[in-house]
Amino acid sequence: EKGIGIGDRVVLRKAGEIIPEVVRVAAHAADSRPFQMPDHCPSCGSPVTREEGEAALRCNNPECPAQLVRHLIHFASRDAMDIDGCGPAVIQQLIDSGLISNAADLYSLHAADVAKLDRMGEKSAENLIRAIENSKANDLSRLLYGLGIRQVGAKAGKTLAAAFGSMDALMEAGLEDLTEVPDVGEITALSLLDWFAQPQSQHLIRRLR
């Protein structure tokens, strides 16, 4: 909106207490070109979206490599799939070693492979595999929350699981079906429809089955 290009000199001011605000362009660089916001994620190539009223562009691909660590930390967290022993350091090691590249890969891990990681050992590896196995008994609401779908928190996960009863029923639901559920507004419904429409999301669900 302010015609800012890469390499331009800009005037800043302190907005509020700390946050710097770009006021205007002071001087364009010699080779300055108008900056174009990306329409695809620079990491995985998936389309990006921006919700009305928000500045952030978001990639909603659940298998995006740039978001993988955070996705898996959330997936394994206590309010989601509650996989004990699957904290940030372990997840990073599992990714770096090539053992996992999405949430479904957790369920294909073998204790012998995990035991080879730094500071793991056989006992820790066995405990992790047991915790992953135990997480299969969690109800649908925890999985829905763990998938990290925008606008679907723990409460919404419980509401949707109670209303639809199965992943299949939820995936087949249309906008009207979703917005008829108490406390599920149009923004949440559209976020769900967008997430389930993506091939990567469908692939992840098939793997998790």
Distance CA 187, CA 194 (A): 11
Can you tell me the mean pLDDT for 181-192? 93
- Hey, what are 172's tokens? 């087949």
Mind listing the pLDDT tens digit for each residue in 151-165? 999 999 999 999 999
pLDDT at 81: 97
Mind listing the pLDDT tens digit for each residue in 80-115? 999 999 999 999 999 999 999 999 999 999 999 999
Matching residue, tokens 């730094």? 118
Distance CA 37, CA 31 (A): 18
HEC string of 30-76? CCCCECCCCCECCCCCCEEECCCCCCCCEECCCCCHHHHHHHHHHHH
3-state secondary structure of 178: helix
Mind listing the pLDDT tens digit for each residue in 42-68? 999 999 988 888 888 988 887 888 899
pLDDT surpasses 90 at 128: yes
